[in-house]
Structure 1
Amino acid sequence: MADRSGGRVRPILHWARTEVDDAPESPRAAAHRPTGRHAGRHGNPQPHWVLRAQTAQALTLMPGQLYFGAEATSVCTLLGSCVAITLWHPQRRIGGMCHFLLPSRRRPAQEPEDGRYGNEALKAMVEAIHRHRTDPTDYHAHLYGGADTLSGACGVKFNIGERNIEEGWRLIDHFGFQLQGVDVGEDIPRTVTLHLPSGEVQMRRGKGHAPDTSKPGHQRSPLR
């Protein structure tokens, strides 16, 4: 199976273990490192959708949430039409995952950023990357989800899963992450787990139809 973006055929890749060693801060990361009141890891209050973890804690992300750091031992989420992007630094052994519902929006200037939108979730993760004095190009990335939950609906042209996939491709290309694994599309649920100590990403395909996050009763953050 292969995935398409921008007219190019992209093969599905699989996770491969990488040897770990110590590495100094890259010059590019130093140039982009926040200063002043934004420099401290805990200097600014984090949005409610950015999770914190205690040491060796196993986290589960709900739609619209993200985690980035080194404290958690694993981060897991369940995907339907939503998309998850995982990031991991092979030398520093830090990373995280975001789970977004929609690719983007027209955000009013006074509106706070929201992790339910792909571009805003990745912006928050890149800010965390710079706070850790690293560079986005040093990170291994995986892209999962984007199921077509409306594949059985006649005449339906609005495919949110496909739009989420395209936004995931765009963001990975834009920030220069090293893409290591992809499994997207079709009409199946997926469970994704990132193991922070090793960087291994496990993806399990479920049976039946992917959950439709637009249906009432599905546990998710309400969209405005």
Structure 2
Amino acid sequence: MPPSLMGAGIGTRSPRLERLKAAPRKPGEASFFFYDAHFKNEAVKILPGEYFVDNEDILVMTTLGSCIAACIWDRQAKVGGMNHFMLPEGTGDSGRYGSFAMELLINELMKRGASRMTMEAKIFGGGAVISGMNTINVGERNTKFVTEFLATERIPIVSKDVLDIYPRKVCFLPYSGKAMVKRLAPANAEALVAQDRMAAQKAAPVSNTGGSVDLF
């Protein structure tokens, strides 16, 4: 049964869930809201290229292969958010690309009262979930990008679960800053493998002279 239906009852009729569903959404902002019966909490699912920021402990969730999710939290303002990007760089303003996704997330946090001085990050993903993808190495390049980006912005990474071969399910609570990660069995990742193959097709191997990603 789909997770949005598992919580049939009081959870699906919660005022907060109805308010979230009715609110206007910004470009790139996640919009798939549901009641998660396991955590007994309202939740939002982040799809590739999307982000979500809030100052309440709604459950922000995503599933990752070679993609990266950065969870950034302001310990003073008690506001946090998550993004989900597929490649380090690309043309155009798209949350699929890390360079745009990170700026989008940080700027939205600052609009909610966060400060770069009190932000901290938790990063997840970058798994090599497709065998034989070492020449492309999308997960490794995504991980390198987000690590270097946060170092440049002087936002400390307080925890991470990246690289290796595992797909991951990540849950984040924006008010408390708590993040949870579950490593998934690689054999059960057909949808993620398809997603990662799409990302790999748009990326060319990095040359010896540069770190840019050639697209299309």
Aligned twin of 2:108: 128
Shift of 1:75: 0.4
Q: Is the 8 A contact 2:53 2:174 kept in 1?
A: no
**Residues 1:145 and 2:145 are matched in the alignment:** no
Once the two structures are superposed, what CA deviation does each residue of 1:30-89 show, in whole Å capped at 9, x if it has no partner? xxxxxxxxxxxxxxx821x123679x7411111111011224512011110000000111
Q: Which residue of 2 aligns with 1:103?
A: 88
Q: Give unpaired runs (5+ residues) of structure 1.
A: 1-44, 108-112, 217-222
Partner of 2:48: 63
Length-normalised TM-score, structure 1: 0.66
8 Å CA contact 1:50, 1:65 repeated in 2: yes
Aligned to 2:30: 51
Q: Provide the residue aligned with 1:181 in structure 2.
A: 159
In 2, the alpha carbon distance for the partners of 1:118 and 1:135 equals: 20
Aligned partner of residue 94 in structure 2, secondary structure? coil
Shift of 1:178: 2.2
Contact 2:81 2:109 in 1 (8 A): no
Unmatched tracts of structure 2, length 5 or more: 1-24, 35-40, 199-214
Q: How many residues are treated as equivalent by the alignment?
A: 166
Residues 103-155 of structure 1, C-alpha deviation per residue, up to 9 Å, x if partnerless?
11143xxxxx11110110111112112212331231121011001133x328x
Name the CA distance, whole Å, in 2 between partners of 1:177 and 1:79. 22
**Could you say what secondary structure the match of 1:193 adopts?**
strand
The answer to whether the Cα contact below 8 Å between 1:58 and 1:72 also exists between their aligned partners in 2 is no
Identity in percent: 27
What are the equivalent positions in structure 2 for 1:1-224 lying under 5 Å apart?
Answer: 46-47=26-27, 49-51=28-30, 57-71=42-56, 73-107=58-92, 113-150=93-130, 152-153=131-132, 156-209=134-187, 211-212=192-193, 213-215=195-197
What SS is found at the alignment partner of 1:59? Answer: strand
Seen in structure 2, the aligned counterparts of structure 1 residues 65 and 72 have a Cα distance that, compared at 3 Å, is: farther
Q: Which secondary structure does the structure 2 equivalent of 1:104 belong to? A: coil
> TM-score, structure 2 length as denominator?
0.68
Task: Give, as a single letter, the amino acid of the residue that structure 1 aligns with 2:135.
Answer: K
Q: Higher relative CO (CA 8 A, sep ≥ 6), structure 1 or 2? A: 1
Q: CA deviation at 1:215?
A: 4.4
2:53 match: secondary structure: strand
User: Is contact 2:65-2:196 (8 Å) kept?
Assistant: no
| Counterpart residue type for residue 122 of structure 1 | M
